[in-house]
Amino acid sequence: MALHGLGKVTLGVPNVDDTIAYYTDFGLGHRGGGVFATRNGGDQLEIVHAPTRRLVELTVAADDPDDIAAITGRLTGLGVAIDRNGTSVGAVEPVTGTRVRVAIRPRIVIEPAVLPTPYNGPGRIDRWGRAPFLTRAEPVRPRKLGHAVIGSTDLETTMRFFTKGLGFKVSDYMGDKAAFLRCSVEHHNVLVMSAPVNFMHHTSWQVDDIDEVGRGAHAMLDGNPERHIWGLGRHYAGANFFWYLKDPAGNFSEYYSDMDTVPEDELWSPEVLHGLHGLYAWGPPPPPSFLEPDDLAALMTGAHCSTG
């Protein structure tokens, strides 16, 4: 696959300072001006002002100019207006209004390499003495941006933009209501779901293991219990461990680890998942506010007023 992951997300929010403080607590490195870096992926988040919360721009990483040329041809074939330079091509997804830019970026290398976490099990001793996570004192810092989830009022059109235009592949479906799309070896990098209004649902950030998922969430909730949304649990689609929190603008952010991978030369048959089975394998049930965020009605009203 010429594409190899997400490069960066730009989130528009009405409360920039509060949101910057939140993602600083979340473990991303604030480089100033609302730009944040992960441990291994460089600058991968930018916070800018917007009247309502939204995904302003999504950067997708590609290998070389030939990839940019191929994507340019596909987008043009779909009748999508583009702007292109030598290292990137940009277009606006026609339904959600999200600007998507495919840019040449180096592949993310996790350095230093993460050693396998030793676990004991029945009849199997992989570690001796006290568990090593007990000695972890440093704050959790995500390795990279993993995926973004958006709601679209026209699922089919948004999917076509990502698959036929950009070259994403479908990993799994949630009935006829959502699709998990990948542009890397990870199970999904974008999830598009059918919604009554176009909106930003969540971004997801990779940490080392389930202990880091739990430690990160525990630190975020210490003194701020209102940030909790859903977790700890394990998804069915993608099989990753998860914990979801909410930023001050209303966007969800996820710590995740242990995502399914799909080697580029491996045949993969998407499954059609239904109901809660597709959402999680174990953990607490998702709260109603995860499935339908509390501010969705307000976003719908705002969208109506802005176009009326």
**Segment 109-122, tens digit of pLDDT:** 988 888 888 899 99
Amino acid present at 152: S
**Residue 303 has what pLDDT?**
52
- Residue 22 φ then ψ, to 5°: -60, -50
- Element housing 18 (H / E): helix 16-26
Strand order of the β-sheet with 241-246 is 228-234, 241-246, 252-257, 199-206, 144-152, 190-194, 178-182, 169-174, 271-273
What is the domain class of 3-107+142-306 according to CATH?
A: alpha beta
Amino acid identity for residue 35 in this structure? V
- Nearest residue to 49 (alpha-carbon basis) of 19, 15, 80: 15
What tokens were used for 230? 């859903």
252: which strand partners?
202, 246
| Contact call for residues 246 and 167 (beta carbons, < 8 A) | no
Average pLDDT of the segment spanning 161-182: 96
Rounded to whole angstroms, the Cα distance separating 302 from 308 reads: 10
- pTM, two decimals, is 0.94
The two beta strands, 241-246 and 35-38, are unpaired
Q: For the residues 47-73, what does the mean pLDDT come to? A: 96
Q: How confident is the prediction for the chain on average, in pLDDT?
A: 93
What pLDDT shows up at residue 308?
34
Cα 174 to Cα 9: distance, rounded to the nearest angstrom = 24
Cα separation values, 293 from 197, 229, 249, 278, 290, Å: 11, 10, 12, 19, 6
Alpha carbon of residue 298 to chain centroid = 23
Q: What number of H helices and E strands is found in the chain?
A: 6, 17
Phi, psi of 49 (to 5 degrees): -80, 140
Give the count of beta carbons closer than 10 Å to the beta carbon of residue 222. Answer: 10
Residue pair 51/249 in contact (Cβ under 8 Å)? The answer is no
Query: Is residue 1 very low, low, confident or very high in pLDDT (cuts 50, 70, 90)?
Result: low
Q: Give the pLDDT score at 305.
A: 43
Backbone angles phi, psi at 133, to 5 degrees: -65, -20
Contact 142, 207 (CB under 8 A): yes
Does pLDDT of 265 surpass 70?
Answer: no
Confidence of residue 267 (pLDDT cuts 50, 70, 90): confident
